[in-house]
Amino acid sequence: MVVDAKEVEVVNTLVFETLGNPEREREFKLKSLKKWGFDLIFGKIDGKETYFTVELDERKAGDKFTKDGKEYEVIEVLEELPKNRELYAHIEMEMGRAYIVCQLRDEDNQNIEVLRVPAASLLLAFFKKNKLGNLIKAIKNVGISSELYMQNGVGGKPYSYEELPNIARRFLRSARKVEKETGFGRLSFAYYGETKDGEPRFWFSWLLPTIALFDLDIAKKTNDTLGILKTSE
């Protein structure tokens, strides 16, 4: 029986799954909001006291401004979360585009929305600010889960798990540790050996919950995992 190249690839691509629904919501500290580039403000919108966000260091107490037809007044730039309130962020999808939505939640589970921006733009800015170059290179698309994709030469038959060299196994172990923290993940991985220059030949597609990648600790661990298979540019 003749086996074509497509069948060889599909049959021999390794798939590792941490099953479950991608995390949609996560609790964050105020310092995370600042790391994303925003200050939390106690102030007024059209004369009513509430909370909202502005770009980091853009406003100070006493400032007044108009945005989208609404009048804003800054009473205080907060350095800690308001008493009895927690900060939660989640991903919402609208017409195929992901948005990160941040809310202040009180003890009665009442929410005040303080931020709603495109998730992909903020995620890239977050990666750039923290010099997470491997994530910048690998991020392919952003939804409730985000796809990370890398490739360096392909061709031939992918190795079986038993044939994988140490570098590939180390990558897989590290990816599993990340997924243990995120609670969800799906990694498709094909390894083809080395180039003539001794670099690994492979491709992979890795799905992780988008909201988890806004956690700097998880983002750094993911970035380090991607770096295990790093190749020259």
> Sorting pLDDT into bands at 50, 70 and 90, what band is 231?
low
User: Which is more confident, 195 or 105?
Assistant: 105
> Sorting pLDDT into bands at 50, 70 and 90, what band is 195?
confident
What does the pLDDT read at residue 22? 79
What does the pLDDT read at residue 169? 96
Find the mean pLDDT for residues 126-130: 95
What's the angle, vertex CA 176, arms to CA 174 and CA 180, rounded to 5? 120
Three-state DSSP at 162 gives: helix
> Sorting pLDDT into bands at 50, 70 and 90, what band is 2?
very low
In tens, the pLDDT along 14-73 reads 999 988 777 888 999 999 999 999 999 999 999 999 999 999 999 999 999 999 999 999
State how far the Cα of 69 lies from the Cα of 20, in Å rounded to an integer: 42
What does the pLDDT read at residue 1? 44
Q: pTM, whole model, 2 decimals?
A: 0.90
Residue 151 is encoded by which pair of tokens? 């490739």
Element (H, E) at 48: strand 48-55
